[in-house]
Amino acid sequence: MDLEPHLPEQDMNGDPEIMRRAIKLAWNAAMEHQSGGPFGCVIMRGDQIVAEGWNEVLESGDPTAHAEVVAIRKACAALGTHDLSGCTVYTTGEPCPMCYGACWWARVDHIFFASNHDDAHDFGSFDDRPILEALRQPAERRPLGATELCREEMLEVWRAFAALPDRPHY
């Protein structure tokens, strides 16, 4: 994956009106629907809104229903693809590790965020820092343990997958 920013220089400041729309979604999620924390997300392709989402963790009982994940799922459904190249994410909070990973895997071009990890901690007791620190550790030293099991059996599946002449690439 190309690690250089994809947006033209003039677009690196983003569109404040789109961010304000994401902020309104965050307000609605937290204050009106009380579906989750104050997080909203808008995904754009060019000057068109592809999808929107807000935090639905409490409403859905799904800990992965963060605004970015909700919006990515809707964008992929709307566009009929898992590849959101050419899209820009506007989100009200600096993405947590899960949401950053989702944006990465979806191949969005850029992320704009309105508040950072420290703001989420200071105002809402959301603390991504332990997760970020844990990910820097080898698997066996992470607070949430992770142990390799049945690797040789899984490698058989990987080898068969790698040998498929028309295997999917994503």
Annotated active-site positions, please?
A: 68
**Residue (of 129, 64, 127, 120) closest to 92 by Cα position:** 120
Helix (H, G, I), strand (E, B) or coil at 123: helix
- Report d(CA 161, CA 166) in Å as an integer: 10
Across the chain, the runs of DSSP E, i.e. the strands, are 40-45, 48-54, 87-93, 110-115
- Report d(CA 19, CA 42) in Å as an integer: 8
- With beta carbons less than 8 A apart as the criterion, state whether 53 and 74 touch: yes
